[in-house]
Structure 1
């Protein structure tokens, strides 16, 4: 059974593909948007095309609704960000296909309007209809209070603190989740 495309009063949803790189590039150029992801460093076009797009295509699964969902405002269809849906630990040797990770990235001018919460909730509601999905999880850098607030609004609860390590070093992070 194919996952339904979510429907909300204010937002349109579209599963992104390799042709959506201009939207990804535009979003990643604002240092405020990238603050908790790359320490505010904008993502290069080369990195989006040669790393980001191939990674997205690896976990994209239209039937299960996995991928990056472009979110746009009705009726203008103006792109404001995306919501990520993929199995937890997908890029490890032990992906968890019953625990689905949700994440988001939205344009700064859209912040404070409830769009990320509305989009994430609509996607969680669709994921919950899949019998093989047992848990929804999300992670954030500890200082990213905006994302943590969205996690709480989605009904996710604090599971643990941990150290997130990437090419820029180590940062304190949190995991939130809810069992379905």
Structure 2
């Protein structure tokens, strides 16, 4: 199911199709991707774990009516899934309890780095969320992840320093975009 489209991308639900599951495994088994993610069960070590990851995402977003999700970023011209864009309530210091703060995030396969896909997909989901009335959207980035910090800046987000409000108190570089207009600059 398509969530939204941009000039070059289709943001859609990840599916249980073998090609999607293979791409989930390929993406989330890579150290160069997962080293920035403090998530239980990563990196994936067996292809069958991709289905478990998909089930986790579906369970996490089941009650959100499509507003929040962990979605595939598909390149329209090629059909290649470049990675993931997510929009969801940030988990608090107790990671089982979501906060009212909304997070945008992105995880791209290395073969899709440097094309502006993260910025383009994130810009679209953030614009949709702000149009729905959300006042602020956050991006939280592992310290040292310069590429993701650059995406947040390209989105027009303001760096507000390191915070420990979310993800069980993990220290993260925090960026925020407040209301109204999202930057439409370079990808």
With the shorter chain as reference, the TM-score category is: 0.7 to 0.9
Q: 1:160 aligned to 2:175?
A: no
State how far apart, in whole Å, the 2-side matches of 1:172 and 1:93 are: 18
Give TM-score, length-normalised by structure 1: 0.79
Cα deviations across residues 61-119 of structure 1 (Å, max 9, x unaligned)?
563431111111122211110101111227433521xx321111111111111111011
Which residue of 1 is the match for residue 184 of structure 2?
A: none
1:175 corresponding residue in structure 2: 174
Distance in 2, matches of 1:44 and 1:100, equals 30
Q: Could you list the runs of 5+ residues in structure 1 that have no partner in the other structure?
A: none
For 1:11, the equivalent position in structure 2 comes to: 9
Count of residue correspondences: 169
What is the aligned-residue RMSD (CA, Å)?
2.8
Measured in 1, the distance between the counterparts of 2:158 and 2:16 equals 34
Does the aligned pair in 1 maintain the 2:14–2:54 contact within 8 Å?
no
Gaps in structure 2 of 5+ consecutive residues: 180-187
Q: 4+ residue runs of structure 1 moved beyond 4 angstroms?
A: 17-20, 163-166
User: Relative to structure 1, is the Cα distance of residues 162 and 47 closer, same or farther in structure 2, using a 3 angstrom cutoff?
Assistant: farther
Deviation of 1:177 after TM superposition, in Å, equals 1.2
* Alignment match, 2:140: 139
Q: Which residue in the other structure is 2:131 paired with? A: 129
For the residue of structure 1 that corresponds to 2:175, the secondary structure is strand
* Distance in structure 1 (CA, Å) of the matches to 2:31 and 2:172: 20
Q: Distance in 2 between matches of 1:134 and 1:18?
A: 34
- Is the CA contact (8 Å cut-off) linking 1:16 and 1:67 kept in structure 2? no
Do the aligned residues in 2 keep the contact of 1:6 with 1:126 (CA within 8 Å)? no
Aligned to 1:57: 58
Determine the C-alpha separation between the residues in 1 that align with 2:140 and 2:151. Answer: 11
1:18–1:57 Cα contact (<8 Å) kept: no
Q: Identify if the C-alpha distance between structure 1 residues 82 and 165 changes in structure 2 by more than 3 Å, giving closer, same or farther.
A: closer
Kindly provide the CA deviation profile for residues 132-152 of structure 1, in whole angstroms up to 9, marking residues without a partner as x: x22111111110000011111
